[in-house]
Amino acid sequence: MRHSNFYQQYRKLEALEREELKKAVLAHGDEFRFQTEDGENVKGVQMPIVMAGDSHWESNCDCYITRVAVVDGTLEIYGYDKEYGNEEMRLDDVEFGHLSYIIDEIPETNDVKDVTTEPPVCEVPVVSLCREDISDAGYDPEIPDDDFQQVASRIEKYLEWQDFFPQFLENVREACAYLEIPTLKEENE
C-alpha cells in the first residue's frame, strides 16, 4: 500500500534533535552531568528517563541518563537501566523522540537560553509539479489527486537517487509510466 516515506522524515528530525542536544551540552562545556562521578544526583537537576539501550542488549528499556558529552564533535550519552542497573555505560541507541527529554532537563545558561535549530537550507524544495507539467510530458493531466501526489513522490525519489539534476520532464515521464497513467495519445485513440 502506498504511504509517505516516514523513515526519511524521522531521520531528519532525529538529526535536528541531536544537534540541539549537542548545543545544550556545549553551552555547559563539553559535558553535562545529571549525576556526579560518585553516583550522587546533581542538586537542582533531575535525571531524565528515556528508552535507550546498548548495542548488545536484546531490546531497549527505560534508562536514567547520568551524563551527556560531546567528544570530537560526536554526541555520547551515558546512563543505566532504570530497573536493574546502577553502573554507568554508554548508551548507543536512544529511541526516536527521546533526546528531547534530555534537553528538557538541561538548564539554560546566562549565554544560551534557546538551542532551537532551523532546518538547513538544503531542505527547501526546489521543484514544483503542476498538472500542466504532466500534460507537457505527454500524459493525461486529469488524474486523481492521489495519483498526482504519487507522481510527485516518484520524481522526488528520482532526484534523491541522482548525483546530478536530471531533466525534469524525463522524470515526469518515468513517474507517469511507472504508475501506468495513460498517455495523451492513448486517451485520444
Total of domains in the chain: 2
Has residue 67 been placed in a domain? yes
Which domain range does residue 151 map to? 125-188
| Closest residue by Cα to residue 117 from 14, 39, 4, 1 | 14
155 falls within a domain: yes
Residues 32 and 62 in one domain: yes
Q: What is the DSSP letter of 54?
A: -
**3-state helix vs strand vs coil in the chain, percent to 5:** 35, 20, 45
Residue 120: the pLDDT is 57
Does residue 70 share a domain with residue 98?
A: yes
Residue 153 lies in a domain: yes
Same domain for 93 and 28? Answer: yes
**Between helices 145-161 and 168-178, what is the axis angle to 10°?**
120
Clarify whether residues 82 and 141 are in a common domain.
no
What is the model's pLDDT at position 168? 63
Q: Which residues of the chain have pLDDT under 50?
A: 122-124, 163-166
Same-domain status, 141 and 96: no
Name the pTM for this structure: 0.61
Which amino acid is located at 41 in the chain? N
**Could you read off the pLDDT of 133-152 as tens digits, one per residue?**
888 888 898 989 888 888 88
- 133/175 Cα distance (integer angstroms): 12
Burial bucket for residue 84 (CB in 10 Å: 0-12, 13-18, 19+): exposed
Q: Check residue 24 and give its pLDDT.
A: 96
Q: State the pLDDT at residue 115.
A: 93
Q: Would you state the pLDDT for residue 146?
A: 87
Q: Are residues 88 and 57 in the same domain?
A: yes
Tell me what pLDDT residue 124 has.
Answer: 47
Please tell me whether residues 92 and 142 are part of one structural domain.
Answer: no
**42 and 95 co-located in one domain:** yes
Q: Of 36, 71, 105, which one is at a domain's C-terminal end?
A: 105
Query: Is residue 1 within 8 Å of residue 42, measured between CB atoms?
Result: no
Residue 81 lies in a domain: yes
Radius of gyration of the chain (CA): 24
Are both 83 and 30 inside the same structural domain?
Answer: yes
Residues 62 and 138 occupy one common structural domain: no
